[in-house]
């Protein structure tokens, strides 16, 4: 579940969606063509599945009615957030709509306790207001998250892994000279602290539920502040014009793995490979 950090191509199934990464040069590292993933290659769900021996997850909206369900299903939608209002005019599938999709699984003869629900949602609720972060409604975001986790429990899901919002203040969309914007990061930290409490609190409150929290924020911040230590040469973005969908090849770097970010906000496969290791650890905790 979640946003572009996890989306493997959901929005190409959403009519008139303008929040998509299915154009050149996205996907160039692994797929030689755009795959719908907002990076140069594999993203976190791909790397998790590869590590545990599962086939790549498939978008829920791309499944044919009546067909056998694959072992890994992807509900994430690029541009979506915890709030229904976030990018509602972009043609995205909100967190609450994704919950409704998961509800359909509860109606099938499945042991939902076998599923691990991995979530990355909330970044766009903040990113949509980078010009005026005072408009970010943390209270509403946290309320949506808590209600969503409770709903998953009611459906029958018992294993939850939730990812923090990344270090948005360190992304090329806002950085100047490689320095992170503390005002933005402070807000992200405030959300993450409370989100972690909610995830762990819900897990304690409901019998049989297990929940863990991935601190991707601290990891990404460390990559930006000490790129060489983690095998990067540049803390910026490889494709600075990618999200404009115009002149996307202008300024494109030769080696994406040298960069922390692929475009001005999404990480490279190299970054995702480092992050995926932490996700796998957390998944093992809830099994």
The reply to whether 266 belongs to the active site is yes
Confidence of residue 67 (pLDDT cuts 50, 70, 90): confident
CATH number, position 146:
3.40.50
Model confidence pLDDT, tens digit, residues 169-204: 999 999 977 789 999 999 999 999 999 999 999 999
Q: Residues 7, 40, 125, 263: which is the catalytic one?
A: 263
Q: Rounded to an integer, what distance in angstroms lies between the CA atom of residue 78 and that of residue 124?
A: 9
Q: Residues 4, 19, 80, 144: which is the catalytic one?
A: 4
Looking at residue 60, what is its pLDDT? 97
Residue 260 backbone dihedrals phi, psi, to 5 degrees: -70, -40
> What letter would DSSP give residue 40?
S
Q: Residues 3, 7, 235, 266: which is the catalytic one?
A: 266
Model confidence pLDDT, tens digit, residues 78-110: 999 999 999 999 999 999 999 999 999 988 889
The reply to whether 144 belongs to the active site is no
- Residue 248 Ramachandran class (φ > 0 left, ψ -120 to 50 alpha, else beta): alpha
Residues paired with residue 59 on neighbouring β-strands, in sequence order: 74
- Asked whether the predicted pLDDT for residue 258 surpasses 80, the reply is yes
Domain range for 147 is 4-286
Tally of structural domains, the chain: 1
Q: Model's pTM, two decimal places?
A: 0.96
The reply to whether 263 belongs to the active site is yes
Looking at residue 202, what is its pLDDT? 98
Residues paired with residue 162 on neighbouring β-strands, in sequence order: 119, 213
Model confidence pLDDT, tens digit, residues 245-257: 676 788 999 999 9
Looking at residue 155, what is its pLDDT? 96
């Amino acid at each position: 579940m979640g946003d572009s950090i996890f989306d493997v191509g959901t929005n190409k199934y959403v009519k008139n969606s303008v929040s998509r990464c299915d154009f050149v040069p996205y996907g160039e590292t692994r797929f030689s063509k755009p795959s719908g993933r907002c990076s140069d290659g594999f993203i976190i769900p791909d790397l998790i599945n590869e590590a545990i021996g599962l086939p790549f997850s498939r978008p829920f909206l791309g499944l044919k009615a009546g067909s056998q369900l694959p072992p890994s299903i992807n509900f994430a939608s690029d541009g979506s957030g915890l709030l229904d209002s976030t990018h509602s005019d972009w043609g995205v599938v909100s967190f609450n709509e994704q919950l409704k999709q998961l509800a359909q699984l509860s109606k099938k003869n499945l042991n939902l306790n076998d599923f691990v629900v991995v979530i990355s949602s909330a970044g766009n609720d903040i990113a949509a207001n980078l010009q005026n972060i005072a408009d970010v409604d943390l209270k509403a975001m946290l309320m949506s998250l808590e209600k969503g986790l409770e709903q998953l429990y009611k459906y029958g899901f018992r294993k939850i892994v939730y990812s923090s919002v990344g270090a948005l203040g360190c992304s090329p969309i806002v950085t100047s000279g490689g320095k992170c914007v503390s005002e933005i990061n402070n807000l992200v930290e405030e959300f993450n602290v409370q989100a972690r409490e909610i995830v762990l609190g819900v897990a304690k409150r409901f019998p049989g539920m297990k929940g863990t929290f991935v601190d991707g924020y601290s990891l990404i911040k460390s990559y930006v502040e000490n790129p060489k230590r983690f095998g990067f040469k540049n803390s910026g973005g490889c494709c600075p014009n990618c999200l404009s969908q115009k002149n996307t090849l202008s300024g494109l770097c030769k080696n994406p793995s040298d960069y922390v970010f692929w475009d001005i906000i999404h990480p490279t496969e190299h970054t995702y490979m480092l992050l995926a290791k932490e996700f796998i650890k957390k998944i093992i905790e809830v099994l």
